[in-house]
Structure 1
Amino acid sequence: MGKAERSKTAREKIREQQAAERAREQRKKVVTYVTAGAVAIAAIGAGMWYTMSRSQSEQAGADLAPVTIQADGSVIMAKDGVTKPVVDIYEDFQCPACKELERVSGQTFKNLAAEGLAKVVYHPITIFGQEPTKGNSVRAGAAARCVPDGKQWVAFHDLLFENQPSESVEGFKTDQLIEWGKEAGVTDPGFETCVTSQKHAQAQLDYSDKINKRENLEGTPTVKVDGQMIDNSVVFTPKDLRDTVTEAAK
């Protein structure tokens, strides 16, 4: 083999080595990109799981804590001897955000009371001033005041939110309210007349006015723990809500 041929062969070998090296570098880059992508996807997945785990509604736990209906229309849910922390829930049966709060965190409130971790107090009020929302709210609130039994009240409360009408139409009609009362287990013979006559309509309005002024509410839902308003980002996240109330119970 002549000198020129040997030189050519050497150059070819160098080119082959360089090509092989470039191929190895390319493979390394691909592996790096794939690994980084997998890590990113895993991180996103972990973040989504973490967020979902905190926002997931709780399942029903033990039986309801004892429920006591107060003369002013508020309702206390608490085990015997539990006096704090006090979780006050200010809500309007016609309020869409209140309906969403009940859907997302309603069971958390019930569980905390049942576990003896809080004294939960419901304050059904009317915040609307225009029709038809005002009338809807007053009829629902007044009807809730006609329910004499605590557990039946909770069931009726939940049904009102489940069947909440649109803000643009007349709803919570008396015949509907009576039917939902029966569904909630109300058997009191005076319930139907109480609902039909709207016996407690003025009491609902008076209590709402009193609460709005006393608590200086900006809207519903409003949740307070021992008098301190809790941010909605916490209230609408069951895990954060539980952590906040549990911490207050220490």
Structure 2
Amino acid sequence: MSKSTRQRSARERLAEERRRQAIRDKQRKLIVGVLSGVLVAAVVVVVAVLVVNRSSQSDQKAVAYTGPLAPISRQSDGSILMSKQDVTQPTLEIYEDFQCPMCKRFEERVGDKVKSLAAKGKVRVVYRPFQLFKAPDFQEPVPSVSRRGANAAMCAPADHWPSYAKTLFAYQPEEGKEGFADKELLNWARDLGFYTPAFESCVTGAQKAGDVDKSTQYAAAQNVTGTPTLKVNGQPLSQETVQQIFGDPSSLEQLLTKSATSTASASPSPSASKQ
């Protein structure tokens, strides 16, 4: 074989090898592209599943109250009584709306103090939730949110009131925004361990709407025009006094002690009543 023939043959073999290498490279790129597409599709599926699962669950977990408590019962008018059995005075009434920002602040600042004083037998507490925000004075969705919160609170068992009310305030919707959706109201009951089909029907069917209306009418009859309104032995506390309590929750105990002393001194003694 001549030298030129050998060189031409070598060039042909090199060209053939390059052609085959090019084919292999193309096949490898195709496989990588397919695998990448499969991987992206898998990621999309996983993300979609996570989104669906998250949308079916509430990200907002209920806030349980774990401090001291006096016995709790629901009164015939729908209000909540928190008091030791032998405590009759002083009585602290709290008129509140779960859509009210100042009520939320009161719960955060003073709520635990109120419960602690009741547990110590220093006060008889009556919680009076009602619907302050009503149409046409307030535009939707504020009235509906206010009403749903009050209805759900009245559906909750009395012994779970402290935790459920605390949760409603903790996740209070911003005024003008939707909130207190049925899913949230029911999930919080599940978190706190008192969910039942009856509770679900009460919430979704607004079965306590009549009680909400009655409590709202009662608040109006008591000249309650804002929340939170605090009354001690039937007498409303001034705005200055309420602000003082906001700033220094311990001042509430001093006020109640003074009220109890005044009530006791104003009451006739047994010997005096016989004269």
Mark yes or no: TM-score above 0.5: yes
User: What SS is found at the alignment partner of 1:81?
Assistant: coil
Match of residue 249 from structure 2: 238
| 2:121 pairs with one of 116, 119, 130 | 116
- Indicate conservation of the 8 Å contact 1:68/1:77, yes or no: yes
Structure 2 counterpart of 1:136: 145
Match for residue 216 of structure 1 among 198, 223, 235: 223
CA–CA separation in structure 1 for the residues paired with 2:66 and 2:162: 15
Q: 2:197 aligns with which of 178, 189, 196?
A: 189
Decide whether the 8 Å contact of 1:91 with 1:98 is kept in 2: yes
Q: State the AA in 2 paired with 1:140.
A: G
1:32 corresponds to? none
* Contact 1:152 1:185 survives alignment (8 Å): no
For the residues of structure 1 that align with 2:78 and 2:99, how far apart are their CA atoms?
17
Matched, 1:178 2:178: no
In structure 2, what is the Cα distance between the partners aligned to 1:154 and 1:104? 15
Match of 2:77 among 72, 75, 78: 72
Q: Does 1:205 align with 2:216?
A: no
The separation in 1 between residues aligned to 2:84 and 2:196, in whole angstroms, is: 25
- Residue 193 of structure 2 aligns to which amino acid in structure 1? G
Contact 1:62 1:114 in 2 (8 A): no
Shift of 1:108: 1.1
Q: Is the 8 A contact 2:97 2:228 kept in 1?
A: yes
Give the unaligned 5+ runs of structure 1.
Answer: 1-59
Aligned residues, how many? 189
Give the RMSD, CA atoms, in angstroms: 1.6
Identify the residue that residue 154 of structure 2 maps to in structure 1. 145
TM-aligned CA deviation for residue 241 of structure 1: 1.2
SS in 2 for 1:190: helix
Partner of 1:34: none
Q: Give, as a single letter, the amino acid of the residue that structure 1 aligns with 2:168.
A: L
Q: 2:177 aligns with which of 169, 175, 178?
A: 169
Per the normalisation by structure 1, the TM-score is 0.72
Runs ≥4 residues deviating over 6 A: none
3-state SS in 1 of match to 2:78? coil
Gaps of 5+ in 2: 1-64, 262-275
Deviations along 1:197-219, whole A, 9 cap, x unmatched? 1111232123212222x210120
Residue by residue over 1:152-210, the C-alpha shift from the partner in whole angstroms, topping out at 9 and shown as x without a partner, is 12110110000100111111111111111222321443111111111112321232122
Q: Structure 1 residues 62 and 144 mapped into 2: Cα distance closer, same or farther (>3 Å)? A: closer
Q: Secondary structure at the match of 1:117?
A: coil
Q: Which is higher, the Rg of structure 1 or of structure 2? A: 2
C-alpha contact 1:113 1:120 (8 A) present in aligned 2: yes
Is the Cα contact below 8 Å between 2:67 and 2:112 reproduced in 1? no
User: Which residue is equivalent to 2:106?
Assistant: 101
Q: Which TM-score applies when normalising by structure 2? A: 0.65
- Partners of 1:234 and 1:77 in 2: CA distance: 23
